[in-house]
Amino acid sequence: MLQGKNIVESWRSLLVHGILALIFLTLIGRYYYLMIVFHEKYAEKATANHIRAVPVLASRGVIYDRNGKLIVDNAPSYTISVIPIEIRDQVESLQRLSEVMEVSVDEINRRIVKNRRGSFAPAKVFSRVPFEKISHLQEHRLELIGVTYSIEPIRNYVSNLDLSHALGYTREINRDDLKRFQKDSDYQPGDQVGWKGIEKYYESDLHGQRGFRYIEVNALGQEIGELEERAPVNPIPGYDLILSIDSYIQEATEKALADSSGSVVLLNHKTGEILAYASRPGYDLEMLSGRISSKDWQALIQDRRKPLYDRGIQGLYPAGSTLKPLAALYSLENHSNARERTYLCRGSYRLGNRSFGCWKKGGHGKVNLHDAVQQSCNVYFYNLIQDIGLEDWAVLAREFGLGELSGIDIPGENKGLVPDTKFMNRKYGQNKWTKGNLLNIVVGQGDVLVTPLQLAQFASMLAERGIQYQPHFVNKVVSKNGEVIHENISPPEDHNMASPESWDFIHQAMWDVVNGQKGTAKAARQIGWDIYGKTGTAQNPHGEDHAWFIGFSLDERYPYAWAVLLENGGGGGGKAAPLIGKILRSIARRNA
């Protein structure tokens, strides 16, 4: 019996010791995993409990004109964020924040959800916060558990120039943009991102890299102060942009255009640099760069003058008589008797049972090609297009960039419309369109649609005898220390459209449009400065005709080409030509 008892006790002892050893080994294994294998994970969580990484947003790149004049800068602005895990059960903190900011708790929670990036990362809930609000929050910071604020740079429009459509504006990033920039981890909910114009096109250059500062917090989530032993990570500012815009010419253009609805595009025909760009009416960049109210937004989109509409690259209009040099150039190259061929203009042209009028009701009499361009005789070109044909006319029009995207460095450009046989058959039916359609097309009416930018490029190629330069707004992208990151240099593209003799003829005819006794653009004349041009009056079914004037200067001091559009402006010679004349006189005064 005693021996059996010892055996049982020995077995029990071994079992107890085995269990104790297993427990001890389990504890050691767990300790090993916690302290060695998962050390980094739990150390990070522990650190997050008492160290808060506060983002410091990078300054967006600033924008200068071609001469170094500042146009768009940055200004400091306060932002309020919350730490979701710390404010989750802090009803009093949310209520206090709601009272100070005069925004409902439900709206604050909505913004937290929208901009949340995790439990410990700050979620932005307010931007552009006035300093007095920040002062109030600072006084009650012990009551505002999980609430933090920081300074972020916002756009500051220091220039008085109205470049709203060209510059565009920044807005809070949305889900689509976050997906678009998902390869760049620096973009987070609540960030500002380029939304229109140059700001959007050059977003990757303008956007910098955020930094961080480290704040120590206690167990309640209340800030104690900066963590001295952990150095902040400084943000890297975005690159700056040097525009091709000349502020003086831009200001002169805006003054001349005044309150008219329309557009002026003036560029250097030797480089493609846009020197002035106006689309009126414009809009307030400050208002759209912030949190615009629903009332203000509705007022903008319901404004009958359409201030958000960029007429320079989006507006589609009949070109009117500005396209007559195109048909003239084709005739010079393909008809041996082009210079001598004459037609009699009695004020209208009869085709079947329809009558197509000339702008001069009494008619121009007997005119040749030179006279037809100079005096803008419709009847001459009604006759001429029948020897050209639609397809050949369309091919040459596209060579001039009409009906095509120019590739300008702002988004939203319309390509316009150059009708050809395929288009006409699709629209009107196979062989159901007539010569009457051709008569409208040759004088820039009917189905022809262009943008002011396209006509400025057309004028530029006329000046350069068929050589094309891609238009652009930005000359250089530079770093803060002046290093050139990228430079826009448009290589010349020679389309070899015509002989030197044909170009000479076109230039002489366009010179006479401005300077000749019977020219239609006398109001654009300059003293000591040769101006070449072509007027246009585009019929408008919704009101008064649109006024056009395109042209160029071959003076080495002023290698300019332009297109002027005045919506409902009437005749090109009466309204558009005087407007460019006023702009050019301002330029001459500066250089006098």
Lowest mean pLDDT among 294-308, 459-473, 561-575: 294-308
Q: Cα separation of 173 and 193, whole Å?
A: 6
Determine, yes or no, domain membership for 9. Answer: no
* Nearest residue to 149 via CA among 139, 163, 159, 162: 139
Determine, yes or no, domain membership for 23. Answer: no
Same-domain status, 122 and 256: no
Same-domain status, 283 and 166: no
Same-domain status, 297 and 392: yes
Same-domain status, 417 and 342: yes
Lowest mean pLDDT among 140-154, 416-430, 483-497: 140-154
**pLDDT tens readout for residues 185-218:** 688 877 888 999 999 999 999 999 988 877 776 6
Same-domain status, 382 and 426: yes
Determine, yes or no, domain membership for 202. Answer: yes
**pLDDT tens readout for residues 103-140:** 888 888 888 888 887 777 778 888 888 888 888 877 77
Question: What CATH number does residue 143 fall under?
Answer: 3.90.1310.10
Same-domain status, 463 and 407: yes
Kindly indicate the confidence band of residue 11, based on its pLDDT and cuts at 50, 70 and 90. Answer: low
Same-domain status, 194 and 259: no
Residue 288 has pLDDT above 50, yes or no: yes
So what's the pLDDT on residue 1? 46
The residues, any chain, with a CB within 8 Å of residue 407's CB and separated by 6 or more, are 470, 471
Last residue of some domain: 217, 233, 264?
Answer: 217
Same-domain status, 359 and 507: yes
So what's the pLDDT on residue 2? 47
Q: Cα separation of 262 and 274, whole Å?
A: 17
Distance of CA 570 to the CA centre of its chain: 30
Same-domain status, 279 and 202: no
Q: pTM value?
A: 0.85
Determine, yes or no, domain membership for 22. Answer: no
Residue 50 has pLDDT above 70, yes or no: no
Instruction: Provide the domain limits for residue 108.
Output: 56-217
Determine, yes or no, domain membership for 148. Answer: yes
- As a whole number, mean pLDDT of residues 503-531 equals 95
Neighbours of 50 (CB within 10 A): 14
Same-domain status, 251 and 192: no
Q: What is the tally of structural domains in the chain?
A: 2
Last residue of some domain: 217, 236, 258?
Answer: 217
Determine, yes or no, domain membership for 46. Answer: no
φ, ψ dihedrals at 563, nearest 5°: -140, 130
So what's the pLDDT on residue 35? 62
**pLDDT tens readout for residues 149-186:** 878 888 999 999 999 999 999 988 887 887 887 776 68
Same-domain status, 309 and 443: yes
**pLDDT tens readout for residues 291-349:** 677 788 888 888 898 999 999 999 999 999 999 999 999 999 999 899 999 999 999 99
- As a whole number, mean pLDDT of residues 47-74 equals 84
Q: Cα separation of 110 and 158, whole Å?
A: 34
Question: What CATH number does residue 573 fall under?
Answer: 3.40.710.10
Last residue of some domain: 195, 217, 239?
Answer: 217
By the 8 A CB rule, do 137 and 62 touch? no
Lowest mean pLDDT among 94-98, 272-276, 587-591: 94-98
Determine, yes or no, domain membership for 346. Answer: yes
So what's the pLDDT on residue 30? 64
Determine, yes or no, domain membership for 498. Answer: yes
